Amino acid sequence: MKQHTGMVGRLATLRLLAQRFAFLTLVMASFALMLLGKADTVLVERFRVFVDDAVTPVLQVMSRPAAAVSSVFNAIHDLAALRAENVRLTEENVRLMHWQTVARELDNENRALRAQLNFLPGPEAAFITARVIGDTGGAFVHSMLLNAGTRDGIRKGQAVIAGENLVGRIAEVGDRSARILLLTDINSHIPVVIEGSHAKAILTGDNSDRARLNYLAPNSAAVPGNRVVTSGHGGAFPPGLPVGVIASAQDGIVRVEPFVHRYQLDYVTVVDYGLPGVLPSDLPDK
């Protein structure tokens, strides 16, 4: 009998040891995963894409009621601001009518000049519109999940726009899902120019709502209110895509408020400009 209890006790100790060992192994595995992820291996990316593809149908279903809830909230919000909004829109309309006239004149002039110069237009861009099914808010990542992937023609490195404005670029693409890296993400670096002054800079996110302008020439004028557009350098994006306006310029830190706010995004357009991308990893994988 005594021998028996001794055996049970030993078994219990062994089990406890095994549990501790399993726990430590899992902790080591977490660190190993971090290192593997940092090394950007193909294996990790395939795995991520696989999981993204798997959760896409679930998120697609879950995002419907969420959209309904948010539309109710927005309707209440809009109702309260209806009058002020109406006044603002009327004023804006007057201003835009003026711009429309200017744009028509410019368009005519442009066409006439092109005809004189024998100008060759660039290749037509291809569009894919997709629904945002995952907005992974959060302090660490600014990214979004789309319900379209390689089977719809989306490739890594393509530009994502909403209306006319830049949202980000495709960072990962699965069979039926794709992940956008927003321009406010800490890993996003976009070559831009300040409109008017033609000062070049790199727009770098830091996971706050406003991205920073880095590598700006010290004497270049960055005045709040100036528009920032893509420069087209590096070949990742075509030049001239609107990005945002300079919101603040203090102590040499220039911050840009993007035109697009992530909470507004319901549908986005993925554009294939036929550009090779800035890094070898951005090459469209055929």
Partner 1 sequence: MKFNLWQRLDHLLRQLLPASLVVFLALLQAVPWHLPQFAGVVPLLPMIGIYYWSLYRPDLMMPWVAFLIGLINDIALGGPIGISSLVFLGIQGMTSSQRRFFNGKSFLMVWSGFALLAAGGVLIQLTLSSILFGRTPIAHALLVEYVLTVFCYPLPSWLFSQLQLSWLRE
Contact set with partner 1 (CB under 8 A): 19, 22-23, 26-27, 29-34, 36-38, 44, 47-48, 51-52, 55, 58-59, 62-63, 66-67, 69-71, 73-74, 132-145, 172, 179, 186-187, 206-209, 261-266
For residues 70 and 108, which CB has a smaller minimum distance to partner 1 in the complex? Answer: 70
Contact at 8 Å (CB) between 240 and 224?
Answer: no
For residues 71 and 90, which CB has a smaller minimum distance to partner 1 in the complex? Answer: 71
For residues 11 and 32, which CB has a smaller minimum distance to partner 1 in the complex? Answer: 32
For residues 53 and 195, which CB has a smaller minimum distance to partner 1 in the complex? Answer: 53
For residues 71 and 93, which CB has a smaller minimum distance to partner 1 in the complex? Answer: 71
Handedness of CA 193, 165, 210, 181 (dihedral sign): negative
* In the complex, least distance from residue 159 CB atom to partner 1, rounded to whole angstroms: 18
* In the complex, least distance from residue 141 CB atom to partner 1, rounded to whole angstroms: 5
For residues 19 and 248, which CB has a smaller minimum distance to partner 1 in the complex? Answer: 19
Q: What phi, psi does 169 have (nearest 5°)?
A: -135, 160
For residues 220 and 269, which CB has a smaller minimum distance to partner 1 in the complex? Answer: 269
3-class secondary structure per residue, the chain:
CHHHHHHHHHHHHHHHHHHHHHHHHHHHHHHHHHHHHHCCCHHHHHHHHHHHHHHHHHHHHHHHHHHHHHHHHHHHHHHHCHHHHHHHHHHHHHHHHHHHHHHHHHHHHHHHHHHHHCCCCCCCCEEEEEEEEEEECCCCCCEEEECCCHHHCCCCCCEEEECCEEEEEEEEECCCCEEEEECCCCCCEEEEEECCCCEEEEEECCCCCCEEEECCCCCCCCCCCCEEEECCHHHCCCCCCEEEEEEEEECCEEEEEECCCHHHCCEEEEEECCCCCCCHHHCCCC
Handedness of CA 15, 21, 24, 25 (dihedral sign): negative
